[in-house]
Amino acid sequence: MARAPSKPRAAKVLQALEDLQSAEITILKISEPILTTPAVNPDARTSDVSAASLDTPSPASLEADLTHYKELFAKLRFSYVEQVTKEKFIRAIVGDPPLIVTAQENADLEAGNAEAKAALKALKTEVADMVAELEARARDLAARYERVRLETVLLREVPGRAAALEEAVRLMKSEKEGAGREPEMNMPLAKTAALVEVRRRELRELDRALEQLSAQAPRKRKEMERLRAELAQLEAKRVHSKTAAREAKRRKEDAQGGVEDDLEAKGRWYRATETVLNQVLDIHG
């Protein structure tokens, strides 16, 4: 297991990175040795380009200077070719004897020009490849610089995170020491897995029992409704019997003779019926 770097070492690395980043590196600063030129005579003639751009270079001034020099060298090249051609032509005419160019010389000159053009094309290709390589290297360096910058930000957060992790470890150790009274919290992995499997099996059994009870619920509900209907009918009969008994008792008190005996017999019958219903329904009037 790799050992984490110590805090002093991390602080030293962070300080070194901050020192490197504090020294700003730009293309303009890198180009200072190139742009540094020896002192020139103030009376000497210079080009139209202002020397102030060399004192305080910027991307815009460098681009303008580059464009100007390209145009200037193109004009100088045209003037040079024109001047050399005129001199050769005049020398060929006024020379003694006159210089007469033969077809073979023209052919040799064209062959030399073709070779020179091929060499120039090869040089241009080489320069283009070199520029592409420099651009690729510049992009790679920019990506590496960005990665280093992000890693520096993360490195600044490392001490705080390390302290938080140490505090979390301390809390976990204290919780583990406090949980020593519960045997299940200190079980090894194999026993813990077995206990989890037992609890899952019990949970599945409870789920099956719940499903069975849920399936029986509609039937039990219908049976309860049927019993309630029967109870309502018996309750209605009981109320009717009590009403008839009270009516018979009243008539017994008011009646006389044979009618009284008949009503008394009916009253005894109704009272006996009420007693039977009370015993059946376990209802006390």
Over its length of 285 residues, how does the chain's per-residue pLDDT go in tens digits? 444 445 567 677 777 767 766 666 565 565 555 455 444 454 544 444 445 555 566 667 878 888 899 899 999 989 998 998 888 888 877 877 777 777 888 888 899 999 999 999 999 999 999 989 998 998 998 898 888 888 888 888 888 888 888 999 888 877 776 655 666 666 778 888 888 899 999 999 999 999 888 888 888 888 888 888 888 888 888 888 888 888 877 776 766 554 555 667 777 888 888 887 777 776 544
User: Which residues neighbour 159 within 8 Å (Cβ) at sequence distance 6 or greater?
Assistant: 7, 10, 11
CB 236 within 8 A of CB 277: no
For residue 204, give both structure tokens: 């599945």
Between the two ends of the chain, the Cα-to-Cα distance in Å is 88
pLDDT at 125 (0 to 100): 93
CB 126 within 8 A of CB 119: no
CB 156 within 8 A of CB 14: yes
For residue 156, give both structure tokens: 């600044």
Long-range contacts of residues 57-65, Cβ cutoff 8 Å, at least 24 apart: 57/28, 57/31, 58/28, 59/27, 59/28
